[in-house]
């Protein structure tokens, strides 16, 4: 995430929903590292985290191993390439075909190249597409586990689960964005510009963004499609996306808050083209309020992520229970829209 938004703390009641509702490829030294790392994490954090080790957390362990091998997953590095290869392998094992979309952009007077990783369900209507995305790059010098291996891992697990669903009437497209940490998110911006040029933007029914979804001192935040003070116009249909997430959390008795609408991440290029947008967020370096601590636990007046954009954003800098919750919410909403996108109307 390129900056931390101020979070609104007014909970919105949005009614009830109309309907409910990769395999890990690890070998050799990486597999051993995952096993040892998981055991160490659970032993050290047993009082705070699940004993259950979720597939999304195993993805995080792989991203951590890659960061230790390559240093980070920043733009243009071997670490980013390795992370992309890992995502592609996991998607292939779930039956997806993947493509890379390369793009170039200028930064501080120099030209850079990166790429997005794209996959979509083999079933569905290609003229009616739901998109879900998370950025795969991190800042230099950081393992970048909460920002944003957490979103990348949750998205990967949602894609795996959706590959098992029979009722896919609407195409679901997943994208792991490159270069979000660069100014103006050039990966998603390039993607939207290409769609617009090819007259395909009208086929995108909605875009859902997941940037930081396992903060160590978390809130459960939903992008606020009723933010009357937003500087970025809110496309029609965004409230319905917000409602889907709110209904899911409400059904579980899970408190949530609404986040500021127009912070900078990969949803911005879509919103500017009037594509309905939604997403989830658990916090960066802004302090947690006393009310939020009462709702979600954790420490009031402490950062939601004290290691935001720092070398400390490693595998110990995540809340596993929150990661599981957000992964399940993402999967539920993706499956709901895949079966029937008319809920956005």
- Determine the Cα–Cα distance for residues 315 and 63; give it in Å rounded to an integer: 9
170-177 and 257-259 strand pairing: unpaired
- DSSP code at position 145: I
- Determine the Cα–Cα distance for residues 328 and 210; give it in Å rounded to an integer: 13
Q: What is the DSSP string of 288-316?
A: PPHHHHHHH-S-TTSBSSTTTTSTT-STT
Q: What is the DSSP string of 206-272?
A: EEEEE-----SS---EEE-TT-TT-SS---TTHHHHHHHHHHHHHHTT---EEEPS--SSTTHHHHH
Question: Which residues, other chains included, contact 248 with Cβ-Cβ below 8 Å and sequence gap of 6+?
Answer: 17, 329, 332, 333
* H or E element at residue 322: helix 320-339
Rg (CA), the chain: 18
Question: Which residues, other chains included, contact 207 with Cβ-Cβ below 8 Å and sequence gap of 6+?
Answer: 131, 132, 133, 267, 270, 275, 276, 277, 278
98-107 and 110-120 strand pairing: antiparallel
Q: Among all chains, which residue has been given the structure tokens 């939604």? A: 278
Query: To 10 degrees, what angle do helices 150-162 and 320-339 make?
Result: 40
- Which member of 157, 180, 181, 260 is catalytic? 180
Q: How many helices (H) and strands (E) does the chain have?
A: 9, 8
- Determine the Cα–Cα distance for residues 216 and 198; give it in Å rounded to an integer: 42
Q: In Å, what is the CA distance from 243 to each residue of 219, 260, 341?
A: 18, 16, 13
- 292 in active site: no
- Determine the Cα–Cα distance for residues 203 and 125; give it in Å rounded to an integer: 10
| Residues labelled catalytic | 180
């Amino acid at each position: 995430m390129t900056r931390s938004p101020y979070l609104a703390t007014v909970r919105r009641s949005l009614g009830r929903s109309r309907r409910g509702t990769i395999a890990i490829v690890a070998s050799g030294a990486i597999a051993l590292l995952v096993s040892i790392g998981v055991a160490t994490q659970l032993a050290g954090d047993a009082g705070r985290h699940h004993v259950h080790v979720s597939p999304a957390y195993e993805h995080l362990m792989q991203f951590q191993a890659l960061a230790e091998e390559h240093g980070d997953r920043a733009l243009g590095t071997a670490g980013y390439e390795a992370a992309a290869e890992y995502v592609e392998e996991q998607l292939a094992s779930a039956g997806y075909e993947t493509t890379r979309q390369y793009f170039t952009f200028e930064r501080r007077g120099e030209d850079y190249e990166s790429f997005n990783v794209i996959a979509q369900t083999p079933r569905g209507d290609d003229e009616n597409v739901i998109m879900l995305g998370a950025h795969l790059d991190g800042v230099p010098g950081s393992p970048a586990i909460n920002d944003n291996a957490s979103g990348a891992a949750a998205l990967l697990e949602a894609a795996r689960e959706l590959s098992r669903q029979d009722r896919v009437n609407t195409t679901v497209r997943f994208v792991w964005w490159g270069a979000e940490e660069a100014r103006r998110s050039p990966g998603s911006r390039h993607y939207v510009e290409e769609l617009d040029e090819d007259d395909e933007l009208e086929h995108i029914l909605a875009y859902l963004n997941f940037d930081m979804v396992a903060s160590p001192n978390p809130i459960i935040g939903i992008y606020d499609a009723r933010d009357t003070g937003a500087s970025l116009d809110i496309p029609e249909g965004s409230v319905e996306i917000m409602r889907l997430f709110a209904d899911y959390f409400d059904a579980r008795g899970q408190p949530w808050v609404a986040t500021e609408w127009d912070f900078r991440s990969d949803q911005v290029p879509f919103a500017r083209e009037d594509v309905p947008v939604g997403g989830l967020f658990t916090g960066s370096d802004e302090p947690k309020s006393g009310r939020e601590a009462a709702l979600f636990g954790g420490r009031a007046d402490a950062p939601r992520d004290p290691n935001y954009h720092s070398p400390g954003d490693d595998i110990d800098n995540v809340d596993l229970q929150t990661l599981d919750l957000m992964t399940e919410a993402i999967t539920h909403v993706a499956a709901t829209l895949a079966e029937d996108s008319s809920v956005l109307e």
